[in-house]
Amino acid sequence: MDRNLALELVRVTESAALVSSKFMGKGDKNGADGAAVEAMRKAFESVKISGEVVIGEGELDEAPMLYIGEKVGIQNDDCMEVDIAVDPLDGTTLIAKGLPNAISVIAMGAKGSLLNAPDTYMKKIIVGPKAKGHIDLNKSTKENIINVAKALGKKTNQMTIIVQDRERHKEIIDTARSLGTRIKMFGDGDVAAGIATCFEETGIDMLMGIGGGPEGVITAAAIKCMGGDMQAQIYPLSDQEIKRCYEMGFSDTDLKKVLSIEDLAKGENLFFAATGITEGDLLKGVINIGNNKAKTQSVVMRAKTGTIRFVDAIHNLDKNDILIELMRKYNI
């Protein structure tokens, strides 16, 4: 896979971030999401791939663009066939309220490399490279915290885990507190929380909990690029979600299976790109700097080389055709 595609993917996430940032704090999460989706779709038109969306905005009858099965990219005969997983705006509530850690993300891999996860919940454990091989979704919360602490050379009261602030995570929180483990809560934004485990400067050692399934696959691609580890289980929480799994061909056995990171994102031909929209723990948000210009910060990763690049960019918004068109359309 052409390594130059990395920068092309950054241009795509930048487009979605720039447009959706115009909605920050305005309380319009649907408008922000719609604008991000449209910007990302338009930006894909110039990327030299024959891509198919395997994780996107929903089925054809649910989403006008970036729907599951949609073809994206130039689609020439000489273009590589790839799977695409997108979340143009991970953190719709965050952008609507002007809260931190909203990002735009893409994962891309060779055809057949990304799990076509149903739009249901997923149980997850994620750690960085130093704790690789020391997590087991079949073991208890206590055992996993203790095992990861040992792998990191820490006591449990020196550990920090990140957990989504939801009632369903009471057992995880209570167990962590009984071990003296620090807990960082997050409201929304599964992907940003997951990849934080692989950057020592975030201070996050581990993610545990139940979050979005599609976001889990996108996160897995990033964790694979960074040499971390992840286990997951498709975890429907309602009859409707179970029905959705069956409709996508998943059996009862599939729903019981613990998925390794290789099950979620196969091989080394994987890319991950993200651009910050609001200020975050890992990426700066979009900053307007006057003269109709804006700064963005992105990260792009490649599994084959393990390279992680941070990309700072200054955009002249007067010359950004996608942004100009969508600002008029959405009156922003």
Residues 84 and 128 both lie in one domain: no
Q: What is the CATH number of the domain that holds 29?
A: 3.30.540.10
Residue 273 sits in the same domain as residue 259:
no
Whether residues 239 and 205 fall in one domain: yes
* 234 shares a domain with 142: yes
Residue 1: per-residue pLDDT: 65
Which CATH number does the domain housing residue 247 bear? 3.40.190.90
The label of the residue with tokens 């409709």 reads 247
- Sequence length of the chain is 332
Cβ contacts of 253 within 8 Å, gap of 6 or more: none
Per residue in 236-275, pLDDT tens? 989 988 998 998 899 999 999 999 999 999 999 999 999 9
Cβ atoms 107, 114 nearer than 8 A: yes
* Best CA proximity match to 228, nearest among 105, 88, 124: 124
Same domain, 297 and 285: yes
Residues 140 and 237 in one domain: yes
Residue 230 sits in the same domain as residue 320: no
Q: Are residues 292 and 239 in the same domain?
A: no
**Full-model pTM:** 0.94
For 230, the 3-state DSSP assignment is strand
Q: Single out the residue in 233, 264, 295 at which a domain terminates.
A: 264
Question: What's the pLDDT at 78?
Answer: 87
Whether residue 169 sits in one domain with residue 155: yes
Based on the fold, state whether residues 55 and 166 are members of the same structural domain: no
Phi, psi of 42 (to 5 degrees): -65, -40
- Are 208 and 235 in contact, with CB atoms under 8 Å apart? no
Q: Where are the alpha helices (DSSP H) in the chain?
A: 5-20, 29-44, 92-97, 141-152, 170-178, 190-195, 213-226, 239-247, 252-256, 261-264, 321-330
Same domain, 200 and 283: no
Domain count, the chain: 2
Q: Answer whether 38's CB lies under 8 Å from 326's CB.
A: yes
Find all residues with CB under 8 Å of 218, minimum gap 6, and list them: 55, 85, 86, 87, 105, 106, 107, 191, 272
Residues in the annotated binding site:
33, 57, 87, 90-92, 121, 166-168, 188-190, 212, 215
- Nearest one of 2, 37, 6 to 19, comparing CA atoms: 37
**CA distances from residue 44 to 15, 52, 162 in whole angstroms, order as listed:** 10, 11, 33
- Whether the CB-CB separation of 98 and 277 falls below 8 Å is answered with no
Bind-site residues for Mn(2+): 33, 57, 87, 90, 215
- For 49-58, b where at least 16 C-beta lie within 10 A, e where not — what string? bbbbbbbbbe
Which two three-digit tokens encode residue 84?
Answer: 């695409």
Q: In this structure, are residues 121 and 241 in contact, taking their beta carbons and an 8 Å threshold?
A: yes
**C-alpha dihedral (170, 280, 211, 230), degrees to nearest 10:** -100
221, 114 contact by CB (below 8 A): yes
Tens of each residue's pLDDT in the chain, 332 residues = 677 888 999 999 999 999 999 999 999 999 999 999 999 999 999 999 999 999 999 887 778 899 999 999 999 988 999 999 999 999 999 999 999 999 999 999 999 999 998 889 999 999 999 999 999 999 999 999 999 999 999 999 999 999 999 999 999 999 999 999 999 999 999 999 999 999 999 999 999 999 999 999 999 999 999 999 999 999 998 998 899 899 889 999 999 999 999 999 999 999 999 999 999 989 999 999 989 999 999 999 999 999 999 999 999 999 999 999 999 999 99
> CA 156, 161, 164, 168 torsion: positive or negative?
negative
Annotated binding site for substrate: 90-92, 121, 166-168, 188-190, 212
The domain containing residue 245 runs over which residues? 121-264
What is the Cα gyration radius of the chain? 19
Nearest Cα to Cα of residue 161 among 181, 186, 138: 181
Specify whether 136 is located in the same domain as 221.
Answer: yes
Q: Among the three residues 240, 264, 288, which one is the final residue of a domain in this structure? A: 264
Q: What is the pLDDT of residues 175-186, one digit of tens each?
A: 999 999 999 999
- Please say which residue of 230, 246, 264 terminates a domain: 264
